[in-house]
């Protein structure tokens, strides 16, 4: 069975997507799963979560850079094919494909390659397969059980190329109007990208033997509970949360209903997670996930109890996601 490649995607920013990928990677390491984490967001926030500024500067200084951009740079400048470099080992279980601010320079070429692939042009497929090549190489080199892919909050060519590499997609949400409206755009877009990629594969299958299947199968959503805001009562968030099962089913899964209005009973809800706002500064200072905070990091009393709760929350989520993507025991 091929290694699951799970993309985390929402065209609405500020929903906890990068933090979710970061914490899941650490939890899979806790569960003795080897994981490749690919930072395909040009903002490189996931890379900044794993590495210090000094480590990132060291990655961005040499040529070729051991980053996602460094791997695809030969293809961009016409000097050769994609040249995957060994991923950055965070520890024995987590391998990072570091992000790069220059990745945004690849957007125009990806946009141009999309229509050219319909003519069976080999370079167009090489461009569109670039992320798949890099991630597949990292998975093979590390023997990873799965790959987690972080992308930016938009519906552009860069994310399209990143997500056609994904076998599965998880959608992080918060219970507000903007997340719900985002689902209306996100679901039809994923289905269109899947259909259009399959059309391109059929145009020249002999030249794209190693191309990703582009399944992009939605396997569920993760809802982060609201942050308290002035004049935003809890009941307002509950109202938005009650609409998520229908909006997800209707727009992401293209179901006709009937739909439930209780998120706790929705089988597509992988987890409800707190923001753990009080723990985040402490975790960032300690450079670890919130659920691994200890008294030595300053987590006492209620903070330590919250860290233990977070461990249980993310353990349940990691196991639920593993089951959805058919990860072997």
Q: What is the pLDDT of residues 138-197, one digit of tens each?
A: 999 999 999 999 999 999 999 999 999 999 999 999 988 888 888 999 999 999 999 999
Does residue 172 share a domain with residue 61?
yes
Q: What is the mean pLDDT of residues 307-327?
A: 96
Contact (CB, 8 A) for 135 and 38: yes
| 193 belongs to a structural domain | yes
| 329 belongs to a structural domain | no
| 202 belongs to a structural domain | yes
Q: What is the pLDDT of residues 37-82, one digit of tens each?
A: 999 999 999 999 999 999 999 999 988 899 999 999 999 999 999 9
Mean pLDDT of the chain: 92
Q: Which of 236, 252, 275 is the last residue of a domain?
A: 275
| 132 belongs to a structural domain | yes
Does residue 288 share a domain with residue 245?
no
| 212 belongs to a structural domain | yes
Does residue 237 share a domain with residue 186?
yes
pLDDT at 102 over 50: yes
How many structural domains is the chain composed of? 2
pLDDT at 121 over 80: yes
The secondary structure of the chain in percent helix, strand, coil, rounded to multiples of 5, reads 50, 10, 35
Q: How far is CA 135 from CA 100, 121, 129, in A?
A: 15, 23, 10
Does residue 305 share a domain with residue 158?
no
Domain that includes residue 289, residue range: 278-324
Whether the bond into 258 is cis, omega within 30 of 0: yes
Neighbour count for residue 150 (Cβ, 10 Å): 27
pLDDT for the residue 234: 66
| 154 belongs to a structural domain | yes
Does residue 157 share a domain with residue 40?
yes
Does residue 282 share a domain with residue 271?
no
Does residue 265 share a domain with residue 200?
yes
Does residue 219 share a domain with residue 320?
no
Does residue 249 share a domain with residue 142?
yes
């Amino acid at each position: 069975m091929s290694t699951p490649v799970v993309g985390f995607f929402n065209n609405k920013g500020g929903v906890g997507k990068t933090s979710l990928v970061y914490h899941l990677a650490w939890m899979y390491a806790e569960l003795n799963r080897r994981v490749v984490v690919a930072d395909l967001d040009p903002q490189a926030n996931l890379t900044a979560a794993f590495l210090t500024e000094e480590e990132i500067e060291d990655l961005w200084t040499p040529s070729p850079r051991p980053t996602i951009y460094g791997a695809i740079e030969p293809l961009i400048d016409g000097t050769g094919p994609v040249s995957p470099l060994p991923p950055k080992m965070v520890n024995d279980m987590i391998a990072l494909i570091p992000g790069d601010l220059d990745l945004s320079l690849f957007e125009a070429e990806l946009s141009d390659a999309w229509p050219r692939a319909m003519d069976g042009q080999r370079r167009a497929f090489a461009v569109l397969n670039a992320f798949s090549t890099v991630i597949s190489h990292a998975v093979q080199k590390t023997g990873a059980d799965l790959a987690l892919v972080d992308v930016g909050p938009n519906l552009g060519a860069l994310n399209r190329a990143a997500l056609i590499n994904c076998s599965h997609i998880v959608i992080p949400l918060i219970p507000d109007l903007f997340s719900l409206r985002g689902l209306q755009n996100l679901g039809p877009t994923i289905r269109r990208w899947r259909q259009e990629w399959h059309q391109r594969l059929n145009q020249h299958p002999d030249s794209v033997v190693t191309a990703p299947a582009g399944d992009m199968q939605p396997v569920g959503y993760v809802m982060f509970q609201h942050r308290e805001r002035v004049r935003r009562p809890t009941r307002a968030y509950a109202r938005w949360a009650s609409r998520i099962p229908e909006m997800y089913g209707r727009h992401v899964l293209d179901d006709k209903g009937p739909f439930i209005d209780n998120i706790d009973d929705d089988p597509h809800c992988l987890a409800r997670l707190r923001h753990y706002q009080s723990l985040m500064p402490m975790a960032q200072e300690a450079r670890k996930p919130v659920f691994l905070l200890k008294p030595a990091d300053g987590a006492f009393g209620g903070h330590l109890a919250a860290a233990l709760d977070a461990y249980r929350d993310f353990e349940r989520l990691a196991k639920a996601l593993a089951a959805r993507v058919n990860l072997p025991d």
